[in-house]
């Protein structure tokens, strides 16, 4: 079997490498998400700096981001080429050059709008979202509606040419600095619960919205509560038809689950862990030369390689339109989040007592990104549908196993 990419793709790989060499050491002048460290920090005080928005535009112009999104919506306007996308991700990771800044708007909403949005919505929202000039948050979970999302109670009613919204959302990531929210709201109270929901687009500066940050174990307010009191938005701020919100939301969830377990990101993080083990020492010996730690990293590395191969299977499935990859994407989320959490935990063990440090210690390694990610991935195991729910869906719908018995209430 010939697994060579071919000359066209090797030429493209060289082009990407040359581009990356010009931007090694790039730092962002805005701090959003910096703790996870998308690229390598330069010690050069004269290092190249720019905003994330400026970097997004450069990447789009080169065709290294938003490749398949039409130019009229702010994308590069190229054809779908999964192998080129893989080369871009691989070479950026090897060079330590920051990829495009992503997020809920780019990863979840943009593909949803391309599939189900109106032309006006595509023109209005996709370009500024890709350019990182419009940040989005997701309004799904409520205090009594998490895994059973369809039981949500936030209400929306039509009053003239406006929706009037009342209710509450919780665990809303990025709400405190988001410009917009894509939100599930019950608009048909007499319909069955899955058919009474609509998918609305809500400006976060609308009067009647209150945001309360929730400080989590990372000591950041990564999550928020959002309260709606007589919030009025235009009636046209709906994706799909009234009562079709569950259908639209499931389109969004497919993209969310795929983004939470990116094989390329995990391989890159694995390489960073190995480099950390080469520099950290115990009793004068490199950690990577310690048999116990070497055994642990080899076990994780084997699973990372298997996970990478699963990503390649999904790549093949996406090239073959007859293959349904939905359950494969759910496996990405299920295994990817758990594997990433375990990998970050091993890094903390590698650092020994220094692994317990956090925030502003002078001996902190890698800006505390290992500790932050270890805690954050506990949350991502829950996000996008808990891994326990993922296992049930894969077992019942993918493998055809019997459904779990329901316990009758007394």
Question: Three-state SS across the chain?
Answer: CCCCCCHHHHHHHHHHHHHHHHCCCCEECCCCCHHHCCCCCCCCCCCCEECHHHHHHHHHHHCCCCCCCCHHHCCCCCCCCHHHHHHHHHHHHHHCCCCCCCCHHHHHHHHHHHHHCCHHHHHHHHHHHHCCCCCEEEECCECCECCCHHHCCCEEEEECCEEEEEEEECCCCCHHHCCEEEEEEECCCCCCHHHCEEEEEEECCCCCEEEEEECCCCCCCCEEEEEEEEEEEECCCEECCCCCHHHHHHHHHHHHHHHCCCHHHHHHHHHHHHHHHHHCEECCEEHHHCHHHHHHHHHHHHHHHHHHHHHHHHHHHHHCCCCCCHHHHHHHHHHHHHHHHHHHHHHHHHCHHHHHCCCCCCCCCHHHHHHHHHHHHHHHHHCCCCHHHHHHHHHHHHCCCCCCCCCCCC
Q: How far is residue 380's CA from residue 376's CA, in Å, rounded to a whole number?
A: 7
Q: How many CB atoms lie within 10 A of CB 71?
A: 12
Q: Are 314 and 238 in contact (CB under 8 A)?
A: no
Q: How far is residue 136's CA from residue 54's CA, in Å, rounded to a whole number?
A: 18
Q: Are 365 and 276 in contact (CB under 8 A)?
A: yes
Residues 6+ apart with CB under 8 A from 86: 264, 315
- Catalytic (active-site) positions: 256
């Amino acid at each position: 079997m010939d697994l060579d990419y071919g000359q066209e793709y090797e030429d493209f790989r060289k082009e990407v490498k040359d581009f990356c060499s010009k931007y090694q050491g790039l730092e962002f002048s805005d701090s959003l998400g910096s703790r996870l460290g998308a690229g390598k920090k330069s010690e050069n005080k004269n290092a190249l700096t720019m905003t994330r928005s400026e970097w997004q535009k450069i990447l789009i112009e080169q065709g290294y981001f938003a490749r398949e999104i039409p130019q009229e919506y702010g994308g590069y306007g190229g054809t779908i080429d999964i192998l080129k996308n893989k080369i871009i991700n691989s070479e950026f990771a090897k060079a330590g050059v920051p990829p495009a800044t992503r997020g809920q708007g780019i990863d979840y909403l943009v593909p949803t709008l391309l599939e189900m949005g109106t032309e006006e919505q595509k023109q209005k929202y996709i370009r500024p979202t890709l350019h990182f000039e419009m940040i989005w948050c997701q309004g799904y979970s409520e205090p009594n509606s998490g895994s059973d999302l369809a039981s949500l109670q936030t209400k929306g009613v039509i009053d003239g040419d406006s929706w009037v919204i009342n209710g509450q959302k919780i665990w809303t990531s990025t709400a405190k600095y988001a410009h917009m929210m894509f939100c599930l709201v019950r608009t048909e109270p007499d319909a069955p619960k899955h058919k009474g929901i609509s998918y609305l687009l809500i400006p976060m500066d609308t009067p009647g919205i209150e945001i309360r940050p929730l400080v989590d174990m990372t000591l950041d307010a990564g999550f928020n509560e959002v309260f709606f009191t007589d919030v009025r938005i235009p009636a046209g701020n709906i994706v799909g038809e009234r009562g079709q919100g569950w259908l639209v939301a499931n389109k969004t969830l497919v993209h969310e689950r795929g983004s939470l377990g990116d094989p390329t990101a995990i391989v890159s993080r694995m390489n960073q862990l190995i480099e950390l083990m080469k520099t950290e020492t115990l009793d004068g010996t490199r950690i990577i030369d310690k048999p116990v730690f070497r055994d642990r990293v080899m076990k994780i590395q084997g699973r990372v390689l298997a996970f990478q191969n699963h990503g390649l299977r999904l790549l093949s499935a996406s090239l073959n339109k007859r293959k349904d990859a939905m359950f494969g994407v759910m496996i990405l989320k299920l295994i990817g989040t758990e594997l990433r959490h375990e990998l970050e935990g091993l890094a903390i063990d590698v650092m020994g007592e220094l692994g317990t440090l956090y925030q502003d210690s002078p001996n902190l390694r890698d800006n505390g990104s290992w500790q932050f990610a270890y805690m954050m991935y506990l949350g991502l195991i829950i996000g996008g549908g808990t891994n326990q729910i993922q296992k049930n869906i894969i077992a019942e719908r993918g493998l055809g196993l019997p459904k779990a018995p329901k316990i009758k209430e007394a």
